[in-house]
Structure 1
Amino acid sequence: MNDDNKQPAPGSDGNGGGGGNPWMKSLLIWVGILLSLALFVTMFDGRSSAAGGNAIQYSSFLDKVDEGTVKDVTISRDVITGTLSSGEKFRTAPVQDPTLIGKLREKGVSFTAKAEEGPSIWMVLLYQSLPFLLFLGIAFFVLRQMQKGGGANGAMGFGKSRAKMLTQKEGRVTFDDVAGIDEAREELQEVVEFLKDPTKFARLGGKIPKGALLVGSPGTGKTLLARAIAGEAGVPFFTISGSDFVEMFVGVGASRVRDMFEQAKKSAPCIVFIDEIDAVGRHRGAGLGNGNDEREQTLNQLLVEMDGFEANEGIIIVAATNRPDVLDPALLRPGRFDRQVVVPRPDIEGRIKILEVHMKKTPLAPDVDARVIARGTPGFSGADLANLVNEAALMAARKGKRLVAMSEFEEAKDKVMMGAERRSMVMTEDEKRMTAYHEAGHAIVALHEPASDPIHKATIIPRGRALGMVMRLPERDSYSYHRDKMYANLAVSMGGRVAEELIFGYDKVSSGASGDIQYATGLARDMVTRWGMSDKVGPVEYAQPEGESFLGYSASQPVRMSNKMAELIDAEIKSIVEGGLDRARHVLTEHIDQLHLLADALLEYETLSGDDIKKLIAGEGLDRESQGPKVSIPKAGTSVPKTRRPGPFGNPAPAGA
């Protein structure tokens, strides 16, 4: 371990000079200044308060003399003090009264005159020199802070780097703690090898990349990957955020960049990690004249330090961003950030490995299957999966369990994806029945569409903004979708609306299908305008570009189309969505008995797994000891009369179904 990584010894300030806590030293200095000011004020305003006794008016003093209640008096130039017969002290301000002495003699009051002594020569010198001494002390304090550098948080430290150096004594992270991003890890492996043995590459004339830019969605593990590089190489690791460079004063950010590289040179070889570099590295001039001069000067200084006249050997810059498209091209050229390492969202195998890493510290029940959890979490990042494991552990602890079972992981997954259960939500029987038929419609269409993903769960328990849901799990991650699957998804999305219309009638269709209609419309629009899946429109892109805009101007040229083409596109989108509606209506009309069976089961049990639904459709009974006795289900394909008796779960079906 390098000596640079050692913590300062107790009693030292970490700056190499003097002892004691720097914060305490600064506090003592300011306390001394405030006490000196208080003493200075007291010296000029303390003589009047030095005289004791209650302050009374001069007229009251004369009245007390006339009454004979004054015992003795001391007369000075600024104040008259004395004692009453009762022993009470008093004081008053004197006036030019030549008759006072006569009155005191007449009443037999003993009095004395107190001569005023002028201040000594030392007090005069102190009065005159105190302001100068205060000014000299403050100047000395400021100069001392400037000579020391002041630190990043000192009085003169606003131009110093705010980068923090992390040591490997505690919380050491290695590549064993990073899972699911094997390609990115392998690409950065040679950076670790260079930091361990630089001569290995120098013998062949090779130069290690000066910078690596980690690009990926939030939560994919960019910061963890950078820490793992430092942990594997065992070198100092400086971390700073891109926003720490930018300040209100022009030139402060550039000064911090210079100071950061000066610190890194002293600890080379080392890694400097800049998180969210797009805060300081945005494209110069992109603000159309309203750019921030401070940010651009900071970026210019960063460009020079990375590859300028002076080479910074042994310093590897690792940066992370979610928006590589807004970075300045000069920052991405060879010699600066030589590599762009994409840190993607993990696939199913990567999610399994990530879950296994986070499950190491969690006691698991035998029924926990990481592959099933990974299948049910497509698109989850590493941070999402860590949160999922943590939520499952919290739920098990809340129930008083010693092991985390698969049921907790399922509940945690639903909570993370859709929100907590709203069992306190009051729904009428009609609303529950409509929700049950709506979700049953989705499920039945999904079962009879060959290209649809298998059903994992169906529930009518409200979560978040949804009153129910049907969850389908793909067998594997899909990176492209075929036309048949898109049509299947359109039919499944319309299954809920069609079920409401078939069971409750045209006038009783609810607004519960708004999200389904939005999804179907967006999918149909992409099929027509992006993917060329309309024979009438053809393989031409008409979608609006998704580029960053500045002051209302898009980064890409807008799509130009005639009014006739816009009408044709709208007609094609409507035709595709209505085609999905017709497919769903055909499936549900043909299998109306299965729709009734599944809706009754949802009303009885509220949540059904994919296996439970398959058993229902196959005519088998459901054996759920915890939720009720075994129920006999009529086989699929049996005729269902128009006016039905109460269903097999004891739930009366709507008349006229």
Structure 2
Amino acid sequence: MKKWLNYLPTIFIITIVMSLIFYSSQGTTEQMNYSRFKDVAEHAEFEDSTLTISTTIIQVEGSYKTEGKDAISGFRVIVPNTEANLEWLETTLTEDGGRLTIADPNQNSVWINLLVNLIPFLIIGVFFYLMFSKMGGSGSNKAFEFAKSKARVESNVKVRFKDVAGCEEEKEEVKEIIDYLRSPKKFTDMGAHIPKGVLMVGPPGTGKTLLAKAVAGEANVPFFSISGSDFVEMFVGTGASRVRDMFKNAQKSAPCIVFIDEIDAVGRQRGAGMGGGNDEREQTLNQLLVEMDGMTDNNGIVIIAATNRPDVLDPALLRSGRFDRRVTVNLPDIKGREEILQVHARNKKLASDVSLENLARRTPGFSGADLANVLNEGAILAVRNKETQITMNDLDEAIDRVMMGPAKKSKKYTEKDKLLVAYHEAGHAVIGLKLEDADMVQKVTIIPRGEAGGYNLMTPREEKYFHRKSEFLAKITGLLGGRTSEELVFGEISAGAVNDIEQLTKIAKNMVRVYGMSSLGPIQYADPQGNVFLGRDYTQGGNYSNGVAAEIDKEVRKIIDECHENCRKILEENRDLLDLIAKSLVERETLTNEEITNLMNYGQITNPNEPVEVQEPKEVEVKEPVETEVPPKPPVGVEKQDLDDALNELTKKKD
């Protein structure tokens, strides 16, 4: 049909041209009445004429010349069918040698003549109808589709629970929904009602959408998916109409699952915010509340919604009977990360040296999406390096790229800046090695990444759900390691610790205001809402006095000062180790966990106790030496003697 629509303008032009030709050819034929024809016949010389004799009339067509003129004119006239008229026509039309032809009146039907005359108008009418209907498809007809649901339907979902790793407890929470969708009778016989709604809460990238699709795949039911923002439009009432249409379509496909992603876009609290709420969004939410648990019962429809902002949702949406169950999808632990890596490594060509368990240990705090990105970045790096398999070096670089961005190897340091960055990162490493509750050092590098001049990968010694006060203090002390090292070695500080200061200040404030880990006692001074845009407590101010605010500032400063003194003490006691790690970083630029441990235990990069494979020397032909002038070896990086001199000079200056 679309192909024919492209040819319509051409057909239209051809039709117009043919119609003009047709009517122009009839333009010289004069339509006469009977009286006019009798007057012309007295002075005209007829040539070819045709009589079409019907029951009551005689249709006469032909051509004639008038006296004194050579021009030939056409005529058409209708004469009553009488015997006298027929004799007169035969005499008049053949009087001057004209030829007369009697035509069969049934040769051309009235319907055929009518159809021939109507064809041009029919073509023009069809053309305009198709053109207007095509315009209406994107215009006026769309007005009726504007209020229809934008939910996408998948009838055969391929995702299963085996494709979702790292959330075993969450799977158990939704298994009853699968059983209900498969066999609802055993629940109704027991008098049980399956939850109408399941709210999945968790950080971004933890697999909330994937888990919802897996539920639909395991239950083998249709899966309606829509985003919360698809409901809200500029025109009031559109979102509510779309909600009604979505549930109407879902009712036809029941049992089914309706998945609403980012429900906080439409489910925020009503009447909140500066200047009131949004009428369109609130009407949409009202309709959603009614559809989920209102005057009608949507049997067989299970609503699954996902959000990472449950604190902004309307209380009416979270009550029992609507979202009965809340499933928290947290970041995976080490076992969950290993399972997720195994799922995403199915189609990856991994080398024999790749250990997914080791990779999971080095990625605490990574979500499922982050882990998938690590493996994908590793595969891209392997292709870039023209390798046949993904090696551990590729994955190690991929972790750094995901966390900090690509390495800026082209960025050149001055020797002074390189030494400064080396001591800064070495300070973090020493605190991680010598402080019991500090994070464990995995990797230290002075190669710039992102906005950071250096990079220190430190992971918790073991993953915990609750953190003690000593662990928070150790975290602050570790963050102060770089800045304190600069003070100790160079006698001044740089702006490189800005991110460290931001993190440690946040931790110290939370210790005082949220966790009650100070002399102010177990009182929470932080605003539990923290969302000014919701309009709550906007005019109430803080929930403590100015005097308490000053006490909070003193406690925060006290915590940081104590950690700073402890950090300085550790670095002064381990100054030799600090210098050794800094010197090694200047020479090698990157140190691994094993190399840093060897520096601490043996004072060198390698372990002297490990056996070294000694290869037997090969017999080679000894030739006479030729005296040649050997050019001096060019310096590479910082020479050891220069570095020793710089360190001695700094030590003397400090003493």
- Distance in 1, Cα, partners of 2:351 & 2:130: 69
**Which one is further off, 193-202 or 302-311?**
302-311
**Which one is further off, 134-143 or 318-327?**
134-143
Aligned residues of 1:457 and 1:609 also touching (Cα < 8 A): yes
Q: Which residue of 2 aligns with 1:511?
A: 495
1:139 deviates by 8.0
Aligned residues of 1:451 and 1:484 also touching (Cα < 8 A): yes
1:203 deviates by 1.7
- Deviation string for 1:124-157 (max 9, x for gaps)? 98999999877777788899x8xxxx99996742
**1:361-376 aligned within 5 A:** 361-376=347-362
Is residue 2:566 matched to residue 1:583? Answer: yes
Matching residue within 132, 150, 155 for 1:162:
150
Aligned residues of 1:210 and 1:337 also touching (Cα < 8 A): yes
Is residue 2:224 matched to residue 1:230? Answer: no
- Distance in 2, Cα, partners of 1:234 & 1:226: 12
- Distance in 2, Cα, partners of 1:611 & 1:195: 53
Q: Which residue of 2 aligns with 1:98?
A: none
Is residue 2:536 matched to residue 1:543? Answer: no
Aligned residues of 1:647 and 1:653 also touching (Cα < 8 A): no
User: What is the SS of the residue equivalent to 1:243?
Assistant: helix
**Which one is further off, 362-371 or 589-598?**
362-371
- Distance in 2, Cα, partners of 1:479 & 1:551: 30
- Distance in 1, Cα, partners of 2:75 & 2:473: 108
Q: Relative to structure 1, is the Cα distance of residues 298 and 553 closer, same or farther in structure 2, using a 3 angstrom cutoff?
A: closer
- Please tell me the residue identity of whatever aligns with 1:653: A
Q: Which residue of 1 aligns with 2:171?
A: 185
Is residue 2:421 matched to residue 1:435? Answer: yes
Q: Which residue of 2 aligns with 1:601?
A: 584
- Please tell me the residue identity of whatever aligns with 2:206: T
- Please tell me the residue identity of whatever aligns with 1:422: K
Q: Which residue of 2 aligns with 1:534?
A: 518
Aligned residues of 1:223 and 1:320 also touching (Cα < 8 A): yes
Q: Relative to structure 1, is the Cα distance of residues 538 and 397 closer, same or farther in structure 2, using a 3 angstrom cutoff?
A: same
User: What is the SS of the residue equivalent to 1:217?
Assistant: coil
Aligned residues of 1:646 and 1:653 also touching (Cα < 8 A): no
- Distance in 1, Cα, partners of 2:565 & 2:328: 43
- Deviation string for 1:34-75 (max 9, x for gaps)? 66876898799x89xx9xxxxxxxxxxxxxxxxxxxxxxxxx
Is residue 2:469 matched to residue 1:502? Answer: no
User: What is the SS of the residue equivalent to 1:461?
Assistant: coil
- Distance in 1, Cα, partners of 2:140 & 2:447: 53
- Please tell me the residue identity of whatever aligns with 2:502: Q
- Distance in 2, Cα, partners of 1:360 & 1:130: 61
Matching residue within 334, 337, 340 for 2:326:
340
User: What is the SS of the residue equivalent to 2:145?
Assistant: coil
Aligned residues of 1:152 and 1:159 also touching (Cα < 8 A): no
1:598 deviates by 0.8
Aligned residues of 2:225 and 2:258 also touching (Cα < 8 A): yes
- Deviation string for 1:466-500 (max 9, x for gaps)? 11122222132122222222222222222212221
Q: Which blocks of at least 5 consecutive residues in structure 2 are unaligned?
A: 25-68, 77-112, 614-637
Aligned residues of 1:498 and 1:585 also touching (Cα < 8 A): yes
Q: Which residue of 2 aligns with 1:482?
A: 468
**1:404-415 aligned within 5 A:** 404-415=390-401
1:650 deviates by 6.8
1:378 deviates by 1.9
**1:54-133 aligned within 5 A:** none
Is residue 2:553 matched to residue 1:570? Answer: yes
1:377 deviates by 1.8
- Deviation string for 1:190-233 (max 9, x for gaps)? 11111111112122111212221212221111111111011111
Aligned residues of 2:332 and 2:366 also touching (Cα < 8 A): yes
**1:258-269 aligned within 5 A:** 258-269=244-255
Matching residue within 393, 412, 434 for 1:448:
434
Q: Relative to structure 1, is the Cα distance of residues 112 and 229 closer, same or farther in structure 2, using a 3 angstrom cutoff?
A: farther
Q: Which residue of 2 aligns with 1:653?
A: 646
- Distance in 2, Cα, partners of 1:277 & 1:216: 13
Q: Relative to structure 1, is the Cα distance of residues 530 and 324 closer, same or farther in structure 2, using a 3 angstrom cutoff?
A: closer
Aligned residues of 1:547 and 1:555 also touching (Cα < 8 A): no
1:647 deviates by 4.2
**1:554-569 aligned within 5 A:** 554=537, 558-569=541-552
Aligned residues of 2:272 and 2:535 also touching (Cα < 8 A): no
Q: Relative to structure 1, is the Cα distance of residues 276 and 30 closer, same or farther in structure 2, using a 3 angstrom cutoff?
A: farther
- Deviation string for 1:98-149 (max 9, x for gaps)? xxxxxxxxxxxxx99898999x999998999999877777788899x8xxxx
- Deviation string for 1:403-461 (max 9, x for gaps)? 22222211111110011100011211110011111111111122111111221111111
Aligned residues of 2:272 and 2:536 also touching (Cα < 8 A): no
Aligned residues of 2:179 and 2:219 also touching (Cα < 8 A): yes
Q: Which residue of 2 aligns with 1:205?
A: 191
Q: Relative to structure 1, is the Cα distance of residues 520 and 329 closer, same or farther in structure 2, using a 3 angstrom cutoff?
A: closer
- Please tell me the residue identity of whatever aligns with 2:570: V
Is residue 2:622 matched to residue 1:619? Answer: no
Count the aligned residue pairs: 541
Q: Relative to structure 1, is the Cα distance of residues 242 and 488 closer, same or farther in structure 2, using a 3 angstrom cutoff?
A: closer
1:366 deviates by 2.6
1:603 deviates by 0.7
Matching residue within 500, 507, 522 for 1:523:
507
- Distance in 2, Cα, partners of 1:362 & 1:419: 22
Q: Which blocks of at least 5 consecutive residues in structure 1 are unaligned?
A: 1-23, 51-110, 631-644
Q: Which residue of 2 aligns with 1:86?
A: none
Aligned residues of 1:375 and 1:476 also touching (Cα < 8 A): no
Aligned residues of 1:174 and 1:228 also touching (Cα < 8 A): yes
Q: Which residue of 2 aligns with 1:13?
A: none
User: What is the SS of the residue equivalent to 1:479?
Assistant: coil
User: What is the SS of the residue equivalent to 1:188?
Assistant: helix
- Distance in 2, Cα, partners of 1:249 & 1:37: 40
Q: Relative to structure 1, is the Cα distance of residues 174 and 557 closer, same or farther in structure 2, using a 3 angstrom cutoff?
A: farther
User: What is the SS of the residue equivalent to 1:542?
Assistant: coil
User: What is the SS of the residue equivalent to 1:534?
Assistant: coil
- Distance in 2, Cα, partners of 1:598 & 1:133: 85
1:623 deviates by 4.4
- Please tell me the residue identity of whatever aligns with 1:511: A
Matching residue within 287, 293, 296 for 1:310:
296
- Please tell me the residue identity of whatever aligns with 2:650: G
- Distance in 2, Cα, partners of 1:43 & 1:547: 77
* TM-score in terms of structure 1 length: 0.74
- Distance in 1, Cα, partners of 2:375 & 2:434: 34
- Deviation string for 1:523-568 (max 9, x for gaps)? 2222222222222x33322224443223765479543433333323
**1:346-361 aligned within 5 A:** 346-361=332-347
Q: Which residue of 2 aligns with 1:83?
A: none
Aligned-residue CA RMSD in angstroms?
Answer: 3.7
Q: Relative to structure 1, is the Cα distance of residues 484 and 429 closer, same or farther in structure 2, using a 3 angstrom cutoff?
A: same
Aligned residues of 2:596 and 2:605 also touching (Cα < 8 A): no
Q: Relative to structure 1, is the Cα distance of residues 199 and 497 closer, same or farther in structure 2, using a 3 angstrom cutoff?
A: same
Is residue 2:174 matched to residue 1:174? Answer: no
Larger C-alpha radius of gyration, 1 or 2? 2
Matching residue within 375, 382, 385 for 2:368:
382
Matching residue within 356, 361, 384 for 1:398:
384
Q: Relative to structure 1, is the Cα distance of residues 141 and 612 closer, same or farther in structure 2, using a 3 angstrom cutoff?
A: closer
